[in-house]
Structure 1
Amino acid sequence: MVNKMYKVTHEKSENHGSKHNQVLMSIVVCMPILAYGTAMGWISPNKALLMGDSSPSNGPLSEEDVSWMASIMFIFAPIAVFIYGVAADKFGRKNALLFASVPISLGWAVKLISANPIALIGARALIGFGSGGAFVVCPLYVKEISEDSIRGMTGTFVIFSQTVGNLLVFILGDLLPFHTVLWILLAIPLIHFCILLRLPETPSYLIKCGKNEETAKVLGWLRSVPHTDKAISDEVDKLIIEQTTCEPKFSPKLLFADKTALKAFWVALIVNLTREFCGCIAVLVYASHIFAEAGKDPDTSIALSPNKQSILLAVVQIFGSFLACQLVDRVGRKPLLAVTSAAAGVSLCALGAWFYARGAAGAAGAAGWLPIAALCTCIFADASGLQPLPFVIMTEMFSFQLRGTVATLIMAISLGTDFALLKLFAPLNSWIGYHSTFWIFSFICLANVFYLIFCVPETKMRSLEDIYADLEGKKRKKKENVVETNHV
Structure 2
Amino acid sequence: MPIVAYGSAMGWISPNKALLMGDSSPAPFPLNEEDVSWMASIMFIFAPIAVFIYGMATDKFGRKNALLCASIPISLGWAVKLICTHPIALIGARALIGFGSGGGFVVCPLYVKEISDDSIRGMTGTFVIFSQTAGNLLVFILGDLLPYNMVLWILLAVPLIHFCILLRLPDSPSYLVKSGRNEEAAKVLGWLRSVPDTDPSICNAVDRLVIEQTTSELKFSPKLLFANKTAMKAFWVALIVNLAREFCGCIAVLVYASHIFAEAGKDPGSSVGLSPNKQSILLALVQIIGSFLACQLVDRVGRKPLLAVTSAAAGFSMCLLGVWFYLQTVEVHMPGWVPILALCVSIFADASGLQPLPFVIMTEMFSFQLRGTVATLIMAISLGTDFALLMLFTPLNNWIGYHSTFWLFSAVCLTNVFYLILCVPETKMRSLEDIYSDLEGKRNHANKTDAAG
Q: TM-score, normalised by structure 2?
A: 0.98
Task: Tell me how far apart the structure 1 counterparts of residues 357 and 451 of structure 2 sit (CA, whole Å).
Answer: 39
Q: 1:414 maps to what in 2?
A: 382
Q: 1:446 aligns with which of 409, 414, 425?
A: 414
Partner of 1:343: 313
Any idea what the Cα deviations from partners look like across 1:264-316, whole Å, max 9, x if unmatched? 00000000000000000000000000000000022212110000000000000
One-letter amino acid of the structure 2 residue matched with residue 58 of structure 1: P
Q: 2:217: which partner in 1?
A: 247
Residue of structure 2 in register with 1:5 after alignment: none
Question: Of the candidates 301, 317, 331, which is equivalent to residue 287 of structure 2?
Answer: 317
1:291 to 257, 261, 272: 261
Deviations, residues 173-223 of structure 1 (Å, cap 9, x unaligned): 000000000000000000000000110000000000100110110000000
Partner of 2:142: 172
Residue 138 (structure 2) pairs with residue 157 (structure 1): no
Shift of 1:479: 12
Instruction: Report deviation, 1:60.
Output: 0.4
Q: 1:334 to 1:475 in 2, by over 3 A?
A: closer
Measured in 2, the distance between the counterparts of 1:475 and 1:330 equals: 23
Answer whether contact 2:82 2:149 (CA < 8 A) is retained.
Answer: yes
Deviation at 1:475, TM superposition (A): 8.7
Q: Which residue of 2 aligns with 1:469?
A: 437
Instruction: State the superposition RMSD in angstroms.
Output: 1.5
Moved over 2 A (4+): 478-481
Q: Given the alignment, which residue of 250, 263, 270 partners 2:233?
A: 263
The residue that corresponds to 2:160 in the other structure is 190
Describe the superposition over 1:35-78 as per-residue Cα deviations: whole angstroms up to 9, x where unpaired. Answer: 00000000000001000011001010011000000000000000
Q: 2:174 aligns with which of 204, 209, 215?
A: 204
Who wins on radius of gyration, i.e. which is larger?
Answer: 1
Distance 1:79 1:167 in 2: 27
Among 343, 346, 354, the alignment partner of 1:386 is: 354
Instruction: Select 1:437's aligned residue among 405, 409, 412.
Output: 405
Letter in 2 for 1:243: Q
**Does the CA-based 8 Å contact 2:11-2:140 persist in structure 1?**
yes
Q: 3-state SS of the aligned residue for 1:365? A: coil
Measured in 2, the distance between the counterparts of 1:149 and 1:214 equals: 23
Taking the aligned partners of 1:476 and 1:326, their CA distance within structure 2 comes to: 30
Corresponding residue for residue 353 of structure 1: 323
Q: Deviations over 1:407-426 (max 9, x none)?
A: 00000000000000000000
Distance in 1 between residues matched to 2:448 and 2:422, nearest whole Å: 21
Cα distance in structure 1, aligned partners of 2:315 and 2:306: 14
Distance 1:388 1:284 in 2: 16
**Partner of residue 404, structure 1:** 372
Q: Which residue of 2 aligns with 1:14?
A: none
Match of 1:329 among 285, 299, 308: 299
Asked if 1:108 corresponds to 2:57, the answer is: no
Pair 1:229 & 2:214 matched: no
- Please give the alpha-carbon distance, in whole angstroms, between the structure 2 residues aligned to 1:378 and 1:143: 27
Mapped partners of 2:52, 2:45: distance in 1: 13
**What letter is aligned with 2:214?**
T
Deviation per CA, 1:130-151: give whole Å up to 9, x if none. 0001110000000000000000
Stretches of structure 2 that go unaligned for 5 or more consecutive residues are none
Identify if the C-alpha distance between structure 1 residues 237 and 475 changes in structure 2 by more than 3 Å, giving closer, same or farther: closer
Q: How many residues align?
A: 453
Go from structure 1 to structure 2 and tell me whether the alpha carbon gap of 1:208 and 1:382 turns closer, same or farther (over 3 Å shift).
same
Deviations 1:79-109 (A, max 9, x none): 0000000000111000011000000000000
CA distance in 2, matches of 1:474, 1:289: 50
Partner of 1:427: 395
The whole-number CA distance in structure 2 between the counterparts of 1:219 and 1:479 is 38
- Determine what percentage of the aligned residue pairs are the same residue: 82
Match of residue 96, structure 1, among 66, 69, 91: 66
- The CA deviation at 1:484 is 11
For residues 219 and 270 of structure 2, the distance between their equivalents in structure 1, rounded to whole angstroms, comes to 57
Q: Is the 8 A contact 2:269 2:333 kept in 1?
A: no
User: Following the alignment from structure 1 to structure 2, what is the Cα–Cα distance between the partners of residues 67 and 227?
Assistant: 52
Distance 2:12 2:196 in 1: 45
Aligned position for 1:78: 48
Structure 2 CA distance for aligned equivalents of residues 474 and 244 of structure 1? 27
Give 1:477 deviation, angstroms: 1.6
Is the CA contact 2:269–2:335 (under 8 Å) kept in the aligned structure 1? no
Structure-2 change in CA distance of 1:470 and 1:175 (3 Å) = same
Please report how far the alpha carbon of residue 366 of structure 1 lies from its aligned counterpart in structure 2 after TM superposition.
2.1
SS in 2 for 1:55: coil
Give me the whole-angstrom Cα distance separating, in 1, the residues matched to 2:83 and 2:438. Answer: 54
The letter of the residue matching 1:339 is V
Gaps of 5+ in 1: 1-30
- Give the structure-1-normalised TM-score: 0.91
Q: Is the 8 A contact 2:219 2:369 kept in 1?
A: yes
- Hey, what's the Cα distance between the residues in 1 that align with 2:188 and 2:57? 22
Residue identity matched to 1:302: V
Mapped to 1, the partners of 2:185 and 2:443 lie a distance apart of 41
One-letter identity of the residue aligned with 2:358? P
